[in-house]
Amino acid sequence: MLTTNAIDTVVRAALDEDAPWGDVTSEVLIPAEAVATAQLVAREAGIFSGGAVFASAFRLTDPRIDVQLFVADGAAFEPGEVLAEASGPARGILQAERIGLNFVQRMSGIATLTALYVAETSGTRARIVDTRKTTPGLRAVERHAVRSGGGHNHRFSLSDAVMAKDNHLAVLTAGGLGLTEALRQVRDRISHTTHLEVEVDRIDQIEPVLAAGVDTIMLDNFTPDELAEGVRLTAGRALVEASGGVSLTTVRAIAESGVDIISVGALTHSVRSLDLGLDIAVLQG
């Protein structure tokens, strides 16, 4: 859940970066008593995300600014639709506008892209999930945007689960232990509430990993046919995650292989911000 504290932390840092000593332009050009109304308008269709983050940018800049949200996170919108409106002291609105826009444009872009992936997997068992390939410092808001688009979240941080990838396994088995025995020792050392996921990149690694009692097995860069074979071999003994080579053109075939989870780094690491505009009318008070 995206908390108010998490929102205010990232927004305050962005505001401090953008106006460390105030907005000198607005201070010299805009009368202190001027008031304004600003409408957030969609320039293209999409899925909305980031309403509370958008509002926070104005509230933290000047608590006298009132923000009304006309669509909820996760709602679809069309070009020309008014999504939100801010009204109050003009200087504050002008100072906060870019930060508010930056967040809501990126978050809505993530939500919109996620919704496209979710739509491509309709009718299958596969969940679309994000990865840790997020913008440093913005993971909480970007992952909220994934949920707005109908996707799901992977582990939030390195502290949340044991996830052994190829480099971990190379070190783990360097002392001569077989893969199954090495992973069983890992299972014995962690709490029963700690999720254990292991990545494999070859079919012949699947059985030794499953024999250790893992919770999720990640099949990395497998073809759809190989994924289907991996699902057959796993036979319900663990969740099956597909990773690598996932795009809007490949995700349907990946989902139809029968995997439970498809992780998509592109949801956050290469997304395009949506085209939203802020139309401001400044009035003398």
Angle CA(198)–CA(131)–CA(273) in degrees, nearest 5?
A: 165
Instruction: Tell which residue, 152, 146, 121, 118, has the closest CA to residue 134.
Output: 146
Q: Active site includes 199?
A: yes
Selecting among 62, 81, 85, 98, the annotated active-site residue is: 98
Selecting among 23, 130, 199, 241, the annotated active-site residue is: 199
Selecting among 81, 201, 220, 275, the annotated active-site residue is: 220
Selecting among 62, 81, 85, 133, the annotated active-site residue is: 133
% helix, strand, coil for the chain, step of 5: 40, 20, 40
Residue 262 CA to residue 152 CA, distance in Å, equals: 10
Long-range contacts of 271-275 (CB under 8 A, 24+ apart): 271/106, 271/109, 271/110, 271/113, 272/109, 272/113, 273/102, 273/105, 273/106, 273/108, 273/109, 274/42, 274/44, 274/46, 274/105, 274/108, 274/109, 274/112, 275/42, 275/43, 275/44, 275/105
Q: Active site includes 165?
A: yes
Selecting among 12, 165, 237, 252, the annotated active-site residue is: 165
Q: Active site includes 133?
A: yes
Count how many Cα atoms sit within 13 Å of the Cα of residue 88 in the half-sphere of its side chain. Answer: 21
Q: Which residues are catalytic?
A: 98, 133, 165, 199, 220
